[in-house]
Amino acid sequence: MAAPAPAPSSARRALVVYGSETGTAQDVAEELGRIAARLRFDTEVAELDAIGLNQLLQHSVVLISISTTGQGELPANSQKFWRALRSARLRPGCLHQLRFASFGLGDTSYPKFNWAHRKLYNRLTQLGARPICDRGESDEQHPEGVDGSFLPWSTTLRHRLLEQYPLPEGTEPIPDDVLLEPKWLLDFVDDNRQHREAESDKVVQNDAEEVPPDNLLDIPGGLTASIASNDRVTPTSHWQDVRQLNLDVSDYHPYIPGDVLTIYPKNFPTDVNELLSVMKWTSVADIPLRFTPSSPATLPTSRLPIPHFTSTTTLTLRTLLTNHLDIMSIPRRSFFAQLAHFTSDEFQKQRLLEFTDPEYIDELYDYTSRPRRSILEVLQEFETVKIPWQRLCSIIPTVRGRQFSIASALDPAAEAKKQTRIELLIAIVKYKTVIKRIRQGVCTRYVASLRPGQRITVTLQKGGLGVTKKETERPVVMVGPGTGIAPMRALTYQRKFWREESQHKDIGARDMLFFGCRNAESDYYFKDEWAQLQKEGIPLDVFVAFSRDQREKVYVQDLVRQQSARVYEALAKRDGIVYICGSSGRMPQAIREALIEAFQSHGNLDRTAAEAYLAAMEKSGRYKQETW
Ligand SMILES: Cc1cc2nc3c(=O)[nH]c(=O)nc-3n(C[C@H](O)[C@H](O)[C@H](O)COP(=O)(O)OP(=O)(O)OC[C@H]3O[C@@H](n4cnc5c(N)ncnc54)[C@H](O)[C@@H]3O)c2cc1C
Ligand SMILES: NC(=O)c1ccc[n+]([C@@H]2O[C@H](COP(=O)([O-])OP(=O)(O)OC[C@H]3O[C@@H](n4cnc5c(N)ncnc54)[C@H](OP(=O)(O)O)[C@@H]3O)[C@@H](O)[C@H]2O)c1
Ligand SMILES: Cc1cc2nc3c(=O)[nH]c(=O)nc-3n(C[C@H](O)[C@H](O)[C@H](O)COP(=O)(O)O)c2cc1C
């Protein structure tokens, strides 16, 4: 492949690109876009797979935001770009004209911390691209989240951009108190508004249902799934509502353990109506709208606020607020900066601006993240703020689908039956905050409302566990506390099906499953199934840590320590594989520690050699983690 063509002009243009699996890196990219726009760069934001290598050189500067997923991999929407960038035909130095800055999002509880970012950064510099500042990286485990490192890094980036791309004499950056014009605005589809406004009032009055509407969503790659059952698997006396959600998708859609199903949440009518009322939008809530360019400078190819929409898509404020905008999410700093433009109340304006000041990071945290205050609540509290509905999509972020690990294995007869059954284990998020308010998870609240027979739109994605049929010749050590048991159940059944298919002989080693829950009586998921599988002769041993059945906490890592001789035998002597799934946080690191200790004591290794052994397992794909 020839080197990408150089930039045609020296115009002040910034390209912001992102690779994101669940939307956080995309939020960071939007923020980078605003920083560049304020420095008067003509700015485009796009996902990495939407651009070609040539486009990198057609901009003065490229700003990158990328998360790491799977086992140190790049997100799905950057894989195509990554393949092009890795092409052996690209000559060293071919990107020497590219100036860039990059920010990675990762989690130190994963062994390959920020690997996607580091791989991308290294490849770009190997091809001659020159960074304009040190790369930045965030850690999900940081108490202040992404902002903990993004804020200082983006301040440095802004200085570097101003130094290296100075503005012409007499031109200043666009100050924070000046509103940036979005590329797209909402507008009425036709001018026949009065008639429609009257109609819309009727719709509002009738709209008294308590659950979100059950119309299907138009999502690229979407499948229609019918809810077969939605059963609570914990007793009603237990504080945590956990559901086994079974879905049927027509036709054959093969999947393997580790694959995930994405469910797209909808907001509840009471919340949507409340927001419409607070903003005084009720009379226009049901009038057909579409996106129109805010100025002739907006290219028709420019990304719309709702990615799969086009400028001919018709929608209403109510459908936007119900299906597409995350009105129940915790607002980001930039949200407050935007709101400040839409109030004439000086006191509220000052208070909103305080939240945007990096010096008041603690105040912002105390007001938003700690009590988990939602966008809707902020708008209720700052009641003088009235957002023009035309700008709605540039102020409220889009709602993201939530991924759930598939808990079932594909029935070998599914292809013939032309139907795919998918089972999920979902913990319904509901808790009290420090300000004693009850909060509910956006998606799991919706999941709890789903009724048998209802149809929803879902997407099916490859997961990062990389399970293969060949692995049935080796034992596995599975660690899956809480809902982390979901992919382990899938793996256990899949191994059973694969073994039956290939009429495997006994490999002389048993699989080990470490499960952790609170009480034997409340959340020991699939207890009867494990016993049944063992009765059928499946070589599986189950070790359960009940954390709250006795005074002392007992966790999965304690049981791994107790079973360390067997764990060592399975992994070191029989080339076994470790799978770790469930809540991120301290559990994965604690398991890692327990394994290192097992290698030390049973393999007679010192600490460094035991760590090296684990690192070698990771490298060869024998240590796999998927935590959330
Ligand atoms: C690859 C993958 C697989 C997954 N598999 C599963 C699965 O099999 N089963 C499953 O249940 N989930 C799974 N998840 C998690 C799932 O995607 C959602 O994140 C989860 O269901 C919450 O979504 P929500 O929209 O209901 O909550 P949100 O509205 O997104 O709120 C969640 C947030 O609420 C906060 N929160 C939750 N509980 C508390 C608390 N007690 N106190 C204070 N704050 C709290 C946390 O900050 C949390 O991030 C998986 C995630 C990934 C990435
Ligand atoms: N209020 C709470 O107590 C609380 C805490 C976290 C999550 N949640 C909710 O639970 C939902 C998902 O939870 P889940 O059921 O999948 O499982 P989970 O919260 O991960 O809990 C599963 C088991 O893991 C234990 N555990 C906690 N910390 C651990 C650690 N460092 N190492 C090993 N094990 C540890 C838990 O014990 P203990 O809980 O007894 O410590 C529990 O027995 C979340 O969405 C959230 O809403 C609630
Ligand atoms: C399934 C899964 C796998 C992950 N793998 C890694 C990893 O290997 N290394 C890492 O540093 N972070 C890893 N993370 C953490 C994410 O990079 C981090 O949560 C990030 O903020 C997600 O950004 P996104 O929403 O833009 O995808 C993983 C997260 C999930 C849910």
Q: Is the CB of 244 under 6 A from ligand 3?
A: no
Using 50, 70 and 90 to split pLDDT, how confident is the model at 209?
A: low
For residue 308, the model assigns a pLDDT of 84
Pairwise CA distance, residues 382 & 385, whole Å: 6
Of all protein residues, the one whose alpha carbon is nearest to atom 8 of ligand 2 is 429
Q: Whose CA is nearest to atom 13 of ligand 1?
A: 404
Q: Which candidate, 339, 444, 462, places its Cα nearest to that of 391?
A: 339
For residues 455 and 216, the answer to whether their CB atoms sit within 8 Å is yes
Is residue 517 over pLDDT 70? Answer: yes
Is the per-residue pLDDT at 397 higher than 90? yes
Q: Which residue is closest in CA terms to ligand 1's atom 22?
A: 441
What are the tokens at 595? 């394994």
Distance 149 CA to ligand 3 centre (A): 16
Ligand 1 site residues, Cβ closer than 6 angstroms = 22, 260, 402-405, 425-427, 429, 431, 441-444, 483, 486, 626, 628
Is the distance from the beta carbon of residue 75 to the nearest atom of ligand 3 less than 6 Å? yes
Residues 6+ apart with CB under 8 A from 552: none
Please, how many CA atoms are within 13 Å of residue 206, restricted to the half-sphere of its CB?
7
Do 238 and 375 contact (CB within 8 A), yes or no?
A: no
CA of 569 to the centre of ligand 2 (A): 29
Å from CA of 193 to ligand 2 middle:
52
DSSP state of 580: E
Ligand nearest to the CA of 446: 1
Read off the pLDDT band of 379 (50, 70, 90): very high
Mutation test of ligand 1: which of 27, 110, 233, 404 has the most ligand atoms closer than 8 Å to its C-beta? 404
392 to 203, 248, 292, 303, 610: CA distances (angstroms):
21, 36, 13, 16, 54
Spatial distance between the Cα atoms of 261 and 228, rounded to a whole number of angstroms: 15
* pLDDT tens for each residue of 115-169: 999 999 999 999 999 999 999 999 999 988 898 899 999 999 999 999 999 999 9
Would you say 23 is a known binding-site residue?
yes
pLDDT at 275: 98
pLDDT at 195 over 80: no
The confidence band for 297, taking pLDDT boundaries of 50, 70 and 90, is confident
- Contact between 261 and 403 (Cβ < 8 Å): yes
Of ligand 3's atoms, which has the minimum distance to the CA of residue 25?
26
For 586-617, how does the pLDDT look when each residue is reduced to its tens digit (9 = 90+)?
A: 999 999 999 999 999 999 999 999 999 999 99
Measured from the CB, is residue 516 less than 6 Å from ligand 2? Answer: yes
Average pLDDT over residues 221-247: 98
Enumerate residues 6+ apart whose C-beta is below 8 A from 467.
256, 257, 258, 491, 494
Per-residue pLDDT at 568 exceeds 70:
yes
Residue 143 is predicted with a pLDDT of 84
| Phi, psi for residue 4 in degrees, rounded to 5 | -60, 145
CA-407 nearest atom, ligand 1 = 8
Give the pair of three-digit tokens for residue 467.
Answer: 């399970």
Q: What's the CA gap between 112 and 109, in Å, rounded?
A: 9
Ligand 2 lined by 485 (C-beta under 6 Å): no
Ligand 2 centroid–CA 583 distance in Å is 7
Beta strands 511-517; 540-546: pairing state: parallel
309 annotated ligand binder:
no
Say whether 22 counts as a known binding-site residue: yes
Alpha-carbon distances, residue 374 vs 23, 275, 332, 361, 445 (angstroms): 17, 11, 10, 17, 15
Pick from 43-47, 187-191, 385-389, 414-418: least confident: 187-191
Q: Nearest ligand to the C-alpha of residue 116?
A: 3
Q: How many CB atoms lie within 10 A of CB 176?
A: 15
Q: pLDDT at position 359, please?
A: 83
Does the pLDDT value for residue 197 go beyond 70? no
For 352-374, how does the pLDDT look when each residue is reduced to its tens digit (9 = 90+)? 999 988 788 889 989 998 899 99
CA dihedral 605, 606, 608, 614 (to 10 degrees): 30
Beta strands 13-19 and 42-47 are parallel
Tell me the average pLDDT of the chain. Answer: 93
Q: Is the CB of 102 under 6 A from ligand 3?
A: no
| Ligand 1 centroid from CA 627, angstroms | 11
pLDDT exceeds cutoff 80 at 416: yes
